[in-house]
Structure 1
């Protein structure tokens, strides 16, 4: 393929998806990441796109949101590795919330094997992944369906989460920086994600390396509220992504890096030293529930909130702190 043909294809992919990793571009145009990086640099010089950490985005500073069909084909190997590692954090009998996104959908597929689990979600795709899981209770929020990512949003979703208390929230987004934390391109999605955070004692962000350093319009989780980041290993030479990971760790975020992001790779974990000296070999505390056998049940979040009185003192303190923010 000639350089002009490669660059035209790269440009079409970025215009269709909003943001594409160098690794994915190299795979599609069947060349090396070094060559793709050179092509992206040339296209940026013409003002046709902007370079970002390990990828390319539409020009203009802020990336726009891609639809689910486009997102589902991006960084698939990285999302698999991240989901494997994130699932290892979840304990039997725990109650958690899981936000919308392609990475959280991958996580949900693995959570189907955790007995006694209760999952609260606003994502139809997460619920679908767990629909036939044995001994997993699925609790869906109310709200208005947003078709681009198959998520329930709006005041109905936010109100159904009021009074809810769970141990952990698993969220993804469109961008993650040490300065602003997690962000997304849609105001309604951001508002629901904030409500999910308020319901949880701890926040775990799932983000592949292409999102590191990307900044989108609406902040969902400030950096100082993020407990842990689960990500993949940035490609060799992506110094900016590595710098962003270190900056997040310096602000107290526990960074867990999937040891092998290639297809068929193992699920090992490495970590980035934290400026606050937090340990990473201690699992996050879970909220135990007595799960019984049988098919999963779909209930409203309001019904679960009524039955979850007497939650852990730590969770209440965390939620109070979040609301003061």
Structure 2
């Protein structure tokens, strides 16, 4: 297989899965991992993909701004595993903030199964799914609706959130750096995310593995304010505790 054919095949695989590891690409294309690394370097230099630790994601610099519907369809199996792991950290009678985003949306079935759980969210599709499952305690935070987020942002949303004491805040991010914190490409979301973290006893971050280690221009939450990062691995999930959060006081 010549280089041009390999490059197109890599792009096709990344378009379908969102993320591929170097070993998985080497197996799929029946070449060495060294060859795959050279191919990924070439594709990244061309702006067609973005390298991550151990693999690559499709879309290059445009990946941050993918339409919500497309993001929701990507990496569904990984998001399901992350949601299963996150649900194990929730308890009945808690009040939980659930962020907008395609990864947090995967939590809907698990949230509805927890007795007397109260969910506070700016996410329109999450609120709709929970109501459809006959979940009683769902609070949709109003405000300006962003079509790319399928959620609400702005001062009205933040004012509505201020009424709640949160046991847990479940956040998403464009990138998760275990030393620097969380970064986000959508500026309008940042104040609400910060506020949810401040109001919560515990902060969980859900992120697919392509976002781990990703740096960004805008960090909105330092690692010291994150209790746990839940991400996927090749065959399961991994729970990461940022070193800076080790000194956080226990929940009130």
- Tell me the TM-score range normalised by the shorter chain: 0.7 to 0.9
| 1:250 equivalenced with 2:250 (yes/no) | no
2:193 is aligned to: 193
- Give the Cα–Cα distance (whole angstroms) in 2 for the partners of residues 145 and 25 of structure 1: 41
Equivalent residue for 1:140?
A: 140
- Match status 1:229 vs 2:222: no
TM-score, normalised with respect to structure 1 = 0.65
Alignment of 1:1-325 (within 5 A): 3-8=3-8, 10-11=10-11, 20-23=18-21, 31=29, 34=33, 36-46=36-46, 48-53=48-53, 54-56=55-57, 64-233=64-233, 249-252=242-245, 314=252
Three-state SS of the structure 2 residue aligned to 1:22 is strand
Paired residues of 2:158 and 2:195 also in contact (CA < 8 A)? yes
**Matched residue SS, 1:215:** coil
> Would you say the 8 A contact 2:228–2:242 is kept in 1?
no
Distance change >3 Å, CA 117–CA 23, structure 1 → 2: same
RMSD (Å) for aligned C-alpha atoms: 3.4
CA apart distance, 1:81:
0.9
Distance 2:198 2:227 in 1: 13
TM-score w.r.t. length of structure 2: 0.81
Is the Cα contact below 8 Å between 1:22 and 1:37 reproduced in 2?
no
3-state SS of 2:91 partner: coil
Does structure 1 retain, via aligned residues, the 8 Å contact 2:168–2:204? yes
- Looking at structure 1, the residues matched to 106 and 128 of structure 2 have their Cα atoms a distance apart, in angstroms, of 11
- Report the CA distance shift for 1:32/1:100 in structure 2 as closer, same or farther (over 3 A): farther
| Secondary structure of 1:136's aligned partner | coil
Contact map agreement 1:97 1:119 (CA 8 A) in 2: yes
Pick closer, same or farther for the CA change 1:156–1:12 going to 2, 3 Å.
Answer: farther
The answer to whether the 8 Å contact 2:185/2:218 transfers is yes
Query: Higher helix proportion, which one?
Result: 2
Equivalent pairs, count: 245
The CA deviation at 1:3 is 3.8
* Matched residue, 1:309: none
| Cα shift at 1:218 | 2.8
